[in-house]
């Protein structure tokens, strides 16, 4: 109960086409994450799924049924917003219960469901407070609680963690992962943080300028990016792109190699270069090299290394980890 | 924080200007109130002196209150003002919400059309309004006044409120929609409370011109039973003799209700006016 199907969704605001034909299938119980650069249409797509925005053309199907003319509250969907969007005049209990109350459920049932959700999220102590009397993290938990209480077929999250500080973000991320396991509900989640995407998702859909560039499990996207955009978007630091001509590699236009798939050696190797800058992070060392054969390269080494600026090094890519892209940016298998 | 903001010279200068303005603005009001407590000769002999044992007199108030209809005028003014403000706020807020919230063809044109009234004084249309009221049989009714004042107040109300409503978070309204609230509930329960300061601002700016207006009561509702207080006070101004005691007392009394309404709105009003600056 909770599969979603998008068929050729298009959305224009006036003359500007924001979504340019989105097709996607989400299975029951799946956790799918939309990532993409700012302004690529993630929130718009989420609003179309929720019914808060009408698609210009295309269909949204939930459990196989077209819901294009069903109002948001009747679609069996709950949404968690980036700005929490709690009702300022209601306390936590009523914030969580309002949806059920509107649906005409009996008081006892509402009270029970609110109690379950607030226990799950550790909100018991705050039930009588107004949103203004809560911290950011607590507010976000109330917003999540408001979604849980309605026991929807489908959860939508629009960048739910982006207003939280780093420590809280990790905690809430774990909580959402736990929630997904416990409720085994279908979830769609928007973020532009790729760590969030890689750690939470069953599958990731990468959006760019209103199109889905690729859909796949995190490891599929990492290991077999379909094109330059995906290759550059997934992985941090970003994949190195080298014009194929400088490497005399016929048949490709661009060659890509991830920073973690390059080894360095002080004596010998394929590309000779000097260190422009070194970042020592403890677990990792990131080197920025200027090489004679391949131009600028980012290299990620595991553990601590003693390299510093102006050292001369030889970098060698792992041959089986080299990606090749054609003139259109498509990956060459 | 910058030093300039807290420099004593600057703040003294600012206060001097503000105090001067306050004095200038309050002076006429004060003179009216002072003189309303004096007897006629004292008013003319030394208009600026406070009433003393000799010159103190309540004759003005006696006259006004003895004139049986005065309470009725008062009531008329209150009814007209309160009903008009209610109309302006309710319909203004609704129109503003539609303009701010919904995308429909002609939305910008509609906004422009509704804002046009800010620049065109409604009195230009007096003749047409009078003809309409005659045709509708509304001459000498309070309804006529309420309708005209509501129309007069709407443009500014829509203009101000729609700007404020655009700032209300979309997520909040959408959360309401997800929970199944009707558009009316979203408007009344979520949006209106958040723009309360703006509503108070609009209320005060609408209220004062209505309360003080002489023009439309004179033209549309001059009958004894529908006179407003501003018009009613004119009975004491005669062609040959003017009963100054009564005029001043009537004016002093007329200040009271506006003052009370203002005090009700003022806390919100100050927040509304400063909300743009302090954020
Ligand atoms: N109501 C609207 N009217 C006109 N254009 C809009 C509207 N809402 C969104 N857009 C445009 O649609 C595009 C996509 O917006 P959207 O909010 O979906 O981006 P996003 O992917 O969620 O970005 P972000 O990561 O910054 O939240 C943007 O270019 C935006 O300017
Ligand atoms: Mg967004």
Residue that wins the pLDDT comparison between B48 and B140 = B140
pLDDT at A264 over 90: yes
Burial (Cβ within 10 Å: 0-12, 13-18, ≥19) of residue B174: buried
**How many CA atoms are closer than 13 Å to the CA of B102, on its beta-carbon side?**
13
Largest CA distance in chain B: 73
Phi then psi for B18, rounded to 5 degrees? Answer: -65, -40
Neighbours of B148 (CB within 10 A): 27
Question: Which of A79, A100, A130 would you mutate first to test chain B, the one with the most B CBs within 10 A?
Answer: A79
| C-beta of residue B193 within 8 angstroms of C-beta of residue B239 | no
This model of the complex carries an ipTM of 0.86
Tokens of A238: 């970003």
B40 occurs within a structural domain: no
B27 occurs within a structural domain: no
Q: How far is the CA of A247 from the centre of ligand 1 (A)?
A: 40
| CA-proximal residue: ligand 1, atom 17 (nearest) | A43
B142 occurs within a structural domain: yes
B18 occurs within a structural domain: no
pLDDT at A314 over 60: yes
Say whether A263 sits in a helix, a strand or coil. strand
Mean pLDDT along residues B39-52: 82
Using 50, 70 and 90 to split pLDDT, how confident is the model at B205? confident
Burial (Cβ within 10 Å: 0-12, 13-18, ≥19) of residue B263: exposed
pLDDT at A114 over 90: yes
- What are A186-214's pLDDT values in tens digits? 999 999 888 899 999 999 999 999 999 99
Do residue B174 and residue A50 have CB atoms under 8 angstroms apart?
Answer: yes
Using 50, 70 and 90 to split pLDDT, how confident is the model at B274? low
Using 50, 70 and 90 to split pLDDT, how confident is the model at A218? very high
- Structural domain of B223: 61-274
B13 occurs within a structural domain: no
B2 occurs within a structural domain: no
B209 occurs within a structural domain: yes
B4 occurs within a structural domain: no
For residue A65, the model assigns a pLDDT of: 92
Tokens of A313: 């090094």
| C-beta of residue A284 within 8 angstroms of C-beta of residue A302 | yes
Do residue A85 and residue B169 have CB atoms under 8 angstroms apart?
Answer: yes
Ligand nearest to the CA of A81: 2
Do the bridges between strand A203-208 and strand A186-191 make them parallel or antiparallel, or are there none, so unpaired? unpaired
CB of A42 shorter than 6 A to ligand 1 = yes
Tokens of B19: 């105090």
Q: Which domains does chain A have, with CATH numbers?
A: 4-230 (3.40.50.300), 238-325 (2.40.50.140)
For residue B181, the model assigns a pLDDT of: 93
In which element (H, E) is residue A149 found? Answer: helix A136-149
CA A137-A138-A143 angle, to 5 degrees, is 95
Using 50, 70 and 90 to split pLDDT, how confident is the model at A13? very high
Neighbours of A154 (CB within 10 A): 23
B174 touches chain A (CB under 8 A): yes
Mean pLDDT along residues B33-62: 83
Domain count, chain B: 1
**CATH number (domain holding residue B181):** 1.10.3720.10
CB of A44 shorter than 6 A to ligand 1 = yes
> Does the predicted model carry a pTM greater than 0.80?
yes
Indicate the residue of B169, B177, B189 with minimum beta-carbon distance to A83: B169
Tokens of A305: 């290394």
Beta bridge partners of A32: A188, A203
CA B116-B121-B122 angle, to 5 degrees, is 95
For residue B4, the model assigns a pLDDT of: 56
| C-beta of residue A198 within 8 angstroms of C-beta of residue A25 | no
DSSP-derived secondary structure for chain B: --HHHH-HHHHHHHHHHHHHHHHHHHHHHHHHHHHHTB-HHHHHH-TTSPP-TTTB--HHHHHHHHSTTHHHHHHHHHHHHHHHHHHHHHHHHHHHHHHHH---TTHHHHHHHHHHTTTS-GGGGHHHHHHHHHHTT-TTSHHHHHHHHHHHHHHHHHHHHHHHHHTS-HHHHHHHHHTT--HHHIIIIIIHHHTHHHHHHHHHHHHHHHHH--HHHHHH--SGGG--HHHHGGGGB-SS-B-HHHHHHHHHHHHHHHHHHHHHHHHHHHHHHHTTT--
Closest CA to A11 of A61, A48, A43, A51: A48
Tokens of B162: 């729609």
| CA-proximal residue: ligand 1, atom 7 (nearest) | A13
Closest CA to A43 of A200, A190, A171: A190
């Amino acid at each position: 109960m909770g599969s979603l199907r998008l068929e050729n969704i298009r959305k224009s605001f006036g003359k500007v086409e924001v979504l340019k034909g989105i097709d996607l299938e989400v299975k029951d119980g799946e956790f799918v994450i939309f990532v993409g650069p700012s302004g690529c249409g993630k929130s718009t797509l989420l609003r179309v799924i929720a019914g808060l925005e009408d698609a210009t053309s295309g269909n949204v199907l939930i459990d196989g049924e077209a819901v294009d003319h069903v109002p948001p509250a009747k679609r069996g969907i709950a949404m968690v917003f980036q700005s929490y969007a709690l009702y300022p005049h209601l306390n936590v209990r009523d914030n969580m219960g309002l949806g059920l109350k509107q649906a005409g459920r009996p008081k006892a049932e509402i009270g029970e469901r609110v109690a379950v959700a607030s226990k799950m999220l550790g909100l018991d102590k705050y039930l009588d407070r107004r949103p203004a009397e809560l911290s950011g993290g607590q507010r976000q938990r109330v917003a999540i609680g408001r979604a849980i209480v309605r026991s929807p077929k489908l959860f939508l999250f629009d960048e739910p963690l982006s207003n939280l500080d780093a420590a809280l973000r990790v905690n809430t991320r774990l909580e959402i992962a736990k929630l997904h396991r416990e409720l085994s509900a279908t979830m769609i989640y928007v973020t532009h943080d790729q760590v969030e995407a890689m750690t939470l998702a069953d599958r990731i859909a990468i959006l760019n300028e209103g199109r889905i560039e690729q859909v796949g499990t995190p490891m599929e996207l990492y290991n077999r990016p379909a094109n330059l955009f995906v290759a550059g978007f997934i992985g941090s630091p970003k994949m190195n792109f080298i014009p194929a001509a400088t490497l005399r590699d016929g048949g490709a236009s661009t060659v890509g190699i991830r920073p973690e798939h390059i080894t360095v050696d002080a004596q010998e190797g394929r590309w000779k270069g000097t260190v422009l800058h070194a970042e020592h992070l403890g677990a990792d060392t990131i080197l920025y090299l200027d090489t004679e054969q391949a131009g600028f390269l980012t290299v990620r080494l595991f553990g601590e290394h003693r390299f510093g600026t102006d050292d001369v090094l030889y970098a060698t890519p792992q041959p089986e980890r080299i990606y090749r892209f054609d003139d259109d940016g498509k990956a060459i298998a | 924080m910058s030093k300039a903001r807290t420099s004593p010279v600057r703040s003294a200068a600012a206060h001097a200007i503000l105090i001067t303005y306050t004095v200038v603005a309050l002076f006429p009001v004060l003179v009216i109130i002072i003189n309303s407590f004096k007897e006629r000769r004292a008013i003319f002999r030394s208009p600026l002196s406070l009433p003393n044992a000799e010159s103190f007199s309540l004759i003005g108030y006696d006259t006004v209150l003895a004139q049986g209809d005065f309470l009725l005028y008062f009531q008329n003014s209150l009814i007209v003002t309160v009903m008009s403000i209610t109309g302006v706020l309710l319909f203004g807020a609704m129109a503003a919400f539609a303009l701010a919230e919904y995308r429909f063809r002609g939305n910008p044109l509609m906004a422009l059309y509704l804002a046009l009234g800010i620049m065109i004084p409604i009195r230009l249309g007096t003749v047409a309004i009078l003809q309409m009221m005659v045709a509708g049989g509304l001459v000498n009714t309070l309804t006529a006044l309420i309708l005209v004042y509501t129309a007069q107040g709407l443009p500014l109300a829509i203009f101000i409120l729609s700007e404020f409503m655009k700032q209300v978070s979309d997520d909040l309204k959408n959360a309401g929609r997800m929970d199944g609230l009707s558009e009316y509930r979203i408007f009344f329960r979520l949006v209106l409370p958040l723009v309360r300061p703006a509503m108070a601002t609009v209320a005060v700016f609408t209220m004062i011109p209505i309360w003080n207006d002489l023009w439309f009561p004179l033209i549309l509702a001059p009958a004894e039973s529908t006179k407003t207080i501003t018009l009613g006070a004119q009975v004491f101004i005669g062609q040959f003799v003017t009963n100054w005691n009564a005029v001043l007392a009537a004016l002093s009394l007329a200040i009271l209700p506006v003052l009370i309404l203002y005090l009700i709105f003022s806390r919100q009003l100050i927040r509304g006016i400063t909300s743009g600056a302090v954020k």
